[in-house]
Amino acid sequence: MAGAAQAWSSRFGFLMASVGFAVGLGNIWRFPYITGENGGSAFVLVYLLCAFGIGVPILMAELMLGRRGGLTPPGSVAAVAAADGRSTWWSLVGYLNLLTAFSILIAYGVVAGWVLYYLYGSATGALLGFDAGASTAYFSALLARPQVLVFWSIFTLMVAGFIIYKGVQDGIERAVKILMPLLFFLLVALMLFNLVVGGIPETVSYLLVPDFSKINSAMLLAAVGQAFFSIGVAMAGMMMFGAYLPEHISIGQSAILIVIADTLVALLAGFVIFPMVFHNGLDPAGGTGLIFQTLPVAFAQMPAGQWVGTSFFLLLAVAAMTSVVGLFEPLCAWLSERFLWSRHKAAIVLTLAAVAGGMVSVLSYNVWSDVNLFGLSLSELIDYLPNQIMLPLGGLLIAIFAGWFVNAEAAREELRLSNARIFSLWHQLMRWLVVPAVAIIFFSGLFSN
């Protein structure tokens, strides 16, 4: 069993790995941007309700299934289903989660490579003196050079593969105990820098002044979607981390701490990014371009801009790397479990497979940019399928399985919820709130495209 062969040495190590998996590039740019566009603190309030009302219950379900099954996601779901007299066909949910993880990995590895490229450029002074035109040209030139994208993508995947190669305690746990405190330190340091330089009042107005007129169905859907995707469920990682979780560690408390930390990072990121944008008179509605095109211009205009820019891209690199490691781990463990390979062999094979898949993602931005399938460009399809179809579908099936098919008493025992009312609250939320909410996300994403 995976849970028997590998285990977290401490609760801190588990929490750092889980938070690292949940915290990614989406937290650093997407959450602040969506918050500003959807009513500031009004959106934050709705998001927090969704994060704790939907995110925490489904995260608890994943951790519970992983620890109770003690195997990789397909094996864990099959074991729980068999123990509760259900069909082992439910194991397909675990396979869907693994496929989702690999699909996200080949796209995410390329974007993480962009971050490392910009980190290198900032550290060496290549971004100094940028104006809007130079910044746009720099990013466009990166996308047009497949050999550069290949190099940095391979570098990213090899670093993540090496961490996985070293194992749970010597690899993942040791790495995240350094990387996650570093991430929080950089966030706080950059926010304090902004307090001195300026832009904080405008950021407070943009992010935290409520505009209740923007509370509508679209905003509610955005809040539910951000809560669900930000926490990192249905990507196999959390279920795998649950399989390594010792019995004495509380799943409920851990889930709450993970969501709090994930949300805190997202809010802090807003106070890192937007003061720079507002202080330099730039456009806050930049989406992905906010990181790779808008912010380099801000760094070029501010005092100590090279230091600030390098620190910022180091922060992004840490967030990206810990997420890539979280995507790697369940896939590596499944290869080892399925083919009886050593962890070292599984890590090497997986790294090579991820590199091969990543090449498709790299070429979708240049050589194959004219390729269209189902009305979408290849790069759009690589993003759309896992994020709009596979991820919400996998989350929906996990919620249905945990809420309606898992034996309630067995779930309560695994969750270690001695208070019957708290368990009943979790169980009812899973059935009557999480399942409908995730179903809405899934079908909205499906039909909106």
And the tokens for 234?
Answer: 């249905």
What does the pLDDT read at residue 1?
40
What does the pLDDT read at residue 38?
83
What does the pLDDT read at residue 4?
42
Query: Collapsing DSSP states into helix, strand and coil, what is residue 198?
Result: coil
Distances (CA, A) of 271 to 28, 71, 131, 162: 10, 40, 23, 33
- Look up residue 341 and give its DSSP letter: -
Round the average pLDDT of the chain to a whole number and report it. Answer: 92
In this structure, what are the phi and psi dihedrals at residue 128, rounded to the nearest 5 degrees? -65, 140
Domain containing 278 — which CATH number? Answer: 1.10.4160
And the tokens for 306?
Answer: 């090279």
And the tokens for 76?
Answer: 């864990």
What does the pLDDT read at residue 2?
42
Number of domains in the chain: 1
Tell me the pLDDT tens digit for each residue of 204-236: 988 888 888 888 888 888 888 888 778 989 999
325 lies in which domain range? 2-448
In terms of residues, how long is the chain?
449
Query: Collapsing DSSP states into helix, strand and coil, what is residue 55?
Result: helix
Separation CA 320–CA 232 (nearest Å): 13
What does the pLDDT read at residue 181?
94
Closest CA to 267 of 24, 436, 9, 44: 44
Per-residue pLDDT of the chain (449 residues; tens, 9 = 90+): 444 457 898 999 999 999 999 998 878 878 887 888 788 888 888 999 999 999 999 999 999 999 999 999 999 999 999 999 999 999 999 999 999 999 999 999 999 999 999 999 999 999 998 998 999 999 999 999 999 999 999 999 999 999 999 999 999 999 999 999 999 999 999 999 999 989 999 999 888 888 888 888 888 888 888 887 789 899 999 999 999 999 999 999 999 999 999 999 999 999 999 999 898 888 887 766 788 988 999 999 888 899 999 999 999 999 999 999 999 999 999 999 999 999 999 999 999 999 999 999 999 999 999 999 888 999 999 988 998 899 999 999 999 999 999 999 999 999 988 789 999 999 999 999 999 989 988 888 777 65
Chain centroid, CA 384 distance in Å? 15
Per DSSP, which regions of 134-187 are E strands? none
